Amino acid sequence: MFDRFDRKINYLRISVTDRCNLRCVYCMPEEGVTLLDHKEILTFDEIVDVAKSAVRKGVDKIRITGGEPLVRKGIVDLVKMIGGIEGIKDFSMTTNAILLSKYADDLAKVGLHRVNISLDTLDPEKFKQITRGGDIQKVFEGIEAAKRAGLNPIKINCVIQDNKHEPDAKEVAKFCEEKGLFIRYITEMDLEKGEFSVVDGGSGGDCGSCNRIRLTANGLIKPCLFSDISYSVRELGIDRAIDMAVGNKPQTGHENHTGKFYNIGG
Ligand code: SF4
């Protein structure tokens, strides 16, 4: 499918939960978050129906996001259901890897191709500070488990303040080189202010060739991360919600005053 600006839309990012087992300072506010009510969260069957409809319309790349997708109960079953849809050429997940050592083998077995893992520093204390309490050792174990399971290529999402020459980013880059991982630099974004830039080492943030739409955990199809536009699959029906999202996809991102990274999935 193509949008009004002749961009080919073949990528669906699916947020399967707004919950997370970390509290990263650039994602979750200190005062905590208002989580979606369980009734609002799409069931596995609803998520799979959206994925099937999107694939019928031309999507061949699907990414599972959150919050943290591995905290969603039964996540391996959901990955298996989506992995079974014919026509998906690239099936990935973005995870903080805290639970990855537990699930990597099963995820690979049921059809997940690869993972992106968040890691902004190699310093355990800084990591604990950035994530408000996370244990970096679990991330290292998750990376090793993903490698053993064959969830390759493993990409590392490294959030930077300003540039990739920052000390922590340089250390993470060296670590990636040593471990055969691929680093992507994501400059810290601000939804409300509409501050974002192209992901260095990736394609996110490049509006001119943007190929993606998003599904939130509560069933909204979002044509753009930096926009308040969304279409409910429960209210409009899946096909119509996707068609309206692609049909009304903005040329470029602006500001988002209604969503948060943890409930849209970045
Ligand atoms: S801001 Fe919107 S249009 Fe631009 S790259 Fe992101 S999702 Fe695509």
Residue having the nearest C-alpha atom to atom 6 of ligand 1: 205
Which of 13, 11, 8, 2 is closest to 60 using CA atoms?
Answer: 11
Of 195, 210, 211, 249, the one to substitute when testing ligand 1's pocket (max ligand atoms within 8 A of C-beta) is 210
Cβ contacts of 155 within 8 Å, gap of 6 or more: 114, 115, 116, 117, 181, 182, 183, 184, 201, 202
The rounded average pLDDT for each run of 10 residues, N- to C-terminus, in the chain (266 residues) is: 98 96 90 85 98 98 97 98 98 98 98 98 98 97 98 97 96 98 96 91 91 97 97 98 98 92 85
Query: Total structural domains in the chain?
Result: 1
- Residue 15's DSSP bridge partners are 65
* CA of 225, closest atom in ligand 1: 7
Residue 4 lies in a domain: no
- Residue 7's DSSP bridge partners are none
Residue 155 lies in a domain: yes
Residue 5 lies in a domain: no
* CA of 252, closest atom in ligand 1: 3
Residue 220 lies in a domain: yes
What CATH number has the domain bearing residue 89? Answer: 3.20.20.70
Ligand 1 center to residue 224 CA distance, Å?
5
Which of 252, 257, 193, 213 is closest to 15 using CA atoms?
Answer: 213
Residue 1 lies in a domain: no
pLDDT for residue 266: 79
Q: Is the pTM of this model over 0.85?
A: yes
Q: Which residues does a 6 A CB cutoff place in the pocket of ligand 1? A: 205-207, 210, 212, 224-226, 252-253
- Give the domain range for residue 181: 11-264
pLDDT for residue 83: 98
